[in-house]
Structure 1
Amino acid sequence: MQKFAWRARIVPGSEAEYIRRHDEIWPEMTAVLNEAGIHNYSIWLSGLDLFGYYECADIDLATRVQGSSLVVARWNEYMKDILIMDFDPETGTTPPLKQVFEHR
C-alpha cells in the first residue's frame, strides 16, 4: 500500500463551510476516489491548516484518475472560493508531502 499526504489552507471564516461541503460530498466524487483505488482517506483541520492523507495500491493510477477526472475538476472549482491549495501543473493534483518518519 502506498501513502499520499497533502496540505492546504482554508480561507479565513470558511471553516464551517468547508466541513459542510465535505459532510455532503457528492456520490460521484466518492466514486472517483474508489476508481482511483483510494482508501483510508482522511482530512484533518488545525486552525486554518488542512492535512489530508490516503492510501492506495498505485499512486500513479490514483494521480492519473484524479488528474483526468471531470468530477474532480468540478469539485476543485466548487471548493476554490474557500480553499487555498497548490496544484501540480503536470498532474492537476496537489503536490505530495515528503514522509520523514514512520512507526510500525
Structure 2
Amino acid sequence: MERFAWKAIVKDGMLEEYKKRHDNIWPELKQVLKEAGIKNYTIWNVGNELFGYFECERGVKFAEDYQAQSSVVDKWNEYMKDVMVMELDPQTGAQPKMQQVFFLE
C-alpha cells in the first residue's frame, strides 16, 4: 500500500468554512476517492496550515490518474479555491508529492 501526503494553506478567516465543507463532502466525491483506491484519508491543521494523508490501495499513480480524469474532482477544486490555496502538479492534476523522510511500522 502506497502512502501519499500533501500540504496546503487555508485562507485567513476561512478555517471554519473549510471544516464545514468537509463535514458536508459531496457523496459523488467520496465515490471518486474510493474508486481511485484512496482510503484512510485524514486532514489536520495547525493554524492556517493543512496536512493531508491517505493510503492508495492501487498505488499513487493510479489514484492521481483517476482523480485527474474526474470532473467531480475538478468541480471540488474549483469550489475550494475561495477558502484555500493549493498548488496542483500540472502533469498529474494532483497535489505535489511530499517526500517521506521517516516511517515506523
Looking at structure 1, the residues matched to 61 and 98 of structure 2 have their Cα atoms a distance apart, in angstroms, of 15
Instruction: Give the aligned partner of residue 61 of structure 1.
Output: 62
Q: How far apart are the structure 2 equivalents of 1:46 and 1:66?
A: 26
Amino acid of the structure 1 residue aligned with 2:78: E
What CA deviation, in whole Å up to 9, does each residue of 1:29-87 have, x standing for no partner? 00000000000000001100000000012111100011110000000000001111111
Runs of 4+ in 1 over 6 A off after TM superposition: none
Q: 3-state SS of the aligned residue for 1:44?
A: strand
What is the number of residues matched between the two proteins?
A: 104
- Mapping for residues 5-84 of structure 1, pairs under 5 Å: 5-57=5-57, 58-84=59-85
Query: 5+ unaligned residues in a row in structure 2: which ranges?
Result: none
2:101 partner SS? coil
Give unpaired runs (5+ residues) of structure 1: none
Mapped partners of 1:54, 1:96: distance in 2: 12
Q: TM-score, normalised by structure 1?
A: 0.98
Is residue 101 of structure 2 the alignment partner of residue 100 of structure 1?
Answer: yes
Q: Tell me how far apart the structure 1 counterparts of residues 40 and 53 of structure 2 sit (CA, whole Å).
A: 8
> Over aligned residues, Cα RMSD in angstroms?
0.5
Sequence identity, in percent? 51
